[in-house]
């Protein structure tokens, strides 16, 4: 592998990390914002409510996004292995 190939794989790997983690981060942020908004409206001060709802939402998002994320990571790993074969 030459330097250009390594740079390309590094760039693709970093973009893959962003692509795989972005749906989970967005779900956690939106749910956290929604729960905080509802807590502000109802003047509820319970801190565990926010964490419990976020935990459930992130778990559901992980279950839904897992097949797509795993497929993307496996495809990337397959590309790297095929590029390393000529070595």
Mean residue pLDDT of the chain comes to 92
3-state SS of the chain is CCHHHHHHHHHHHHHHHHHHHHHHHHHHHHHHHHHHHHHHHHCCCCHHHHHHHHHHHHHHHHHHHHHHHHHHHHHHHHHHHHHHCCC
- 73 CB contacts (<8 Å, ≥6 apart)? 16, 20
Does residue 2 register a pLDDT over 70? yes
Quick: pLDDT tens for 34-64. 999 998 898 888 888 889 999 999 999 999 9
- Model pTM? 0.80
pLDDT score recorded for residue 87: 64
pLDDT score recorded for residue 76: 96
């Amino acid at each position: 592998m030459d330097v250009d190939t390594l740079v390309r794989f590094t760039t693709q790997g970093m973009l893959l990390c962003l692509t795989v983690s972005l749906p989970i981060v967005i779900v956690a942020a939106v749910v956290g914002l929604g729960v905080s908004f509802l807590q502000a409206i109802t003047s509820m001060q319970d801190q565990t409510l926010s964490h419990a709802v976020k935990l459930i939402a992130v778990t559901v998002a992980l279950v839904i996004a897992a097949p797509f994320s795993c497929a993307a990571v496996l495809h990337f790993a397959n590309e790297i292995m095929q590029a390393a074969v000529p070595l």
